Amino acid sequence: MEDSFKLLEDRIHRAAERLKALSAEVQALRGELAQAKSRAEKAEQALAAAAEREGAGAGEKRKAEALARELSTLKREREEIRDRIEKLVGLLESL
């Protein structure tokens, strides 16, 4: 009987530690997501500003293309982070 309670207690402690670790990871991912959103918004604004300037030279065109690629990368990164957060939240809820 004593062993059963010890096993249960150990499992509860491990679950609590795992829950703490997952919570910390969710918070870190939310911070990364906020940063990615901010960078994506800045890239969108810079891209829009570059697109508004008509007659932009080749340098401006390359800059706009680079910003468009960065924006695409940031959006993909944001989606990956969002997916990871959703998985972690689902895992947390299942505990």
State how far the Cα of 28 lies from the Cα of 26, in Å rounded to an integer.
Answer: 5
Which residue in 36, 32, 54, 55 sits closest to 44, CA to CA? 36
- Residue 32: closest CA among 67, 74, 92, 71: 74
pTM, two decimal places: 0.56
Q: Would you say 9 and 82 are in contact if contact means Cβ atoms under 8 Å apart?
A: no
Taking only the tens of pLDDT, the chain with its 95 residues reads 678 778 878 888 888 888 888 889 889 988 988 998 888 888 888 888 877 775 556 677 788 888 888 888 888 888 888 888 888 888 777 76
User: pLDDT tens digit string along 69-90?
Assistant: 888 888 888 888 888 888 888 8
Taking the mean position of all CA atoms in its chain, how far away is CA 88?
12
